[in-house]
Amino acid sequence: MIENKDAFTDRIHSAAQFIKSRIGQVIPEICVVLGSGLAPLAEQCVIETVLPYSEIPGFPVSTVPGHEGRLIVGSLEGKKIFMMSGRFHFYEGYDSSVCTLYVRVMAVLGVKTLVLTNAAGGLGDGMNPAELMAIEDHISFLCDSPLRGANLDEFGPRFPDQSCVYDREYLELLLSVAADASIKLHKGVYAYTKGPQYETPAEIRALKMLGASAVGMSTVPEAIVAAHSGLRVVAVSCITNMAAGISKEPLSHAEVMVNAGKASSSSCELVRRFIAAL
């Protein structure tokens, strides 16, 4: 929760100032968060600058294996972009406001579009592991809001509308890019859970009744803060496993990583083509 508005605001601005001092004149307007399986996208990028999170003042440091923490600045498909290689999760012990601090830093820098990717459990009928889902909406009311505490008025209002967190035009663009590339892309609602434990079968049945098609432990706080700051948000889940109770097999991080790997080339291709189409 944001307790000290001035200190938190200074933290955001000092990170933004540092990043600005380390990159060229042209500031990217797109930021892509590389979720599980998306790391190879950084290799397709013409990299200009790499800033380890540990060097950026005010940035938390990611603690999850496989979520290497560095901010990459470069270009992809001729477009200048930021890539967040590694994100921050509530289950790591950070407050939601800290997990999403980078989003506000991006807003201060002038980023207009946030592309979020993640690994998720699938609840939807007809979904299979290693397939992708475009997020059209989310369920977040089971968890604390990243906007809890003092409102940072310079970013957005106290009571932000949530009717359209995920940009409709970009969602359509993503779906059409996927169709053109023959990449199977589901569309659905993502339910956010705090983790780190996976859900119980009863929780998954409840989430399914509420209209969720996928479940995961990231993305939603970031999307809420991005929408609060006026950024256009696009989000894609890689369905890395069927959610608890849907598959009879126990869930494991190993299965998540294997299926994220299987979907990696289509996830990267989808995001790359989307950026080209922007």
Q: Could you list the residues that contact ligand HPA (CB under 6 A)?
A: 119-121, 193, 198-199, 215-217, 240-241, 243, 251, 256
CB-wise, 82 or 192, nearer to ligand HPA?
A: 192
The minimum distance between CB 65 and ligand HPA, in angstroms, equals 14
In the complex, residue closest to ligand HPA by CB: 121
Could you tell me if 12 and 98 are in contact, meaning their C-beta atoms sit under 8 angstroms apart?
Answer: no
CB-wise, 117 or 193, nearer to ligand HPA?
A: 193
Active site includes 228? no
Active site includes 249? no
The minimum distance between CB 124 and ligand HPA, in angstroms, equals 12
The minimum distance between CB 100 and ligand HPA, in angstroms, equals 18
Q: Which is the catalytic residue, given 84, 89, 97, 226?
A: 89
Active site includes 218? yes
The minimum distance between CB 200 and ligand HPA, in angstroms, equals 11
Label residue 80 exposed, middle or buried (CB < 10 Å: 0-12, 13-18, 19+).
middle
The minimum distance between CB 16 and ligand HPA, in angstroms, equals 30
CB-wise, 51 or 215, nearer to ligand HPA?
A: 215
Name the residue among 251, 246, 125, 267 with its Cα closest to residue 195.
Answer: 251
The minimum distance between CB 26 and ligand HPA, in angstroms, equals 35
CB-wise, 73 or 217, nearer to ligand HPA?
A: 217
Active site includes 267? no
Contact residues for 242 (Cβ-Cβ < 8 A; gap 6+): 121, 122, 123, 127, 128, 129
Q: Which is the catalytic residue, given 92, 131, 136, 222?
A: 92
Q: Which is the catalytic residue, given 1, 68, 75, 91?
A: 91
Q: Which is the catalytic residue, given 106, 191, 214, 217?
A: 217
Active site includes 186? no
CB-wise, 9 or 140, nearer to ligand HPA?
A: 140
Q: How far apart are CA 8 and CA 13, in angstroms?
A: 9
Q: Which is the catalytic residue, given 29, 53, 67, 263?
A: 67
Q: How far apart are CA 70 and CA 3, in angstroms?
A: 27
Active site includes 182? no
CB-wise, 120 or 233, nearer to ligand HPA?
A: 120
Q: Which is the catalytic residue, given 150, 247, 253, 255?
A: 253
Which residue in this structure is represented by tokens 């991080």? Answer: 253
Alpha carbons within 13 angstroms on the beta-carbon side of residue 4 total 6
Active site includes 253? yes
Which residues are part of the catalytic machinery? 36, 67, 89, 91-92, 119, 217-218, 241, 253
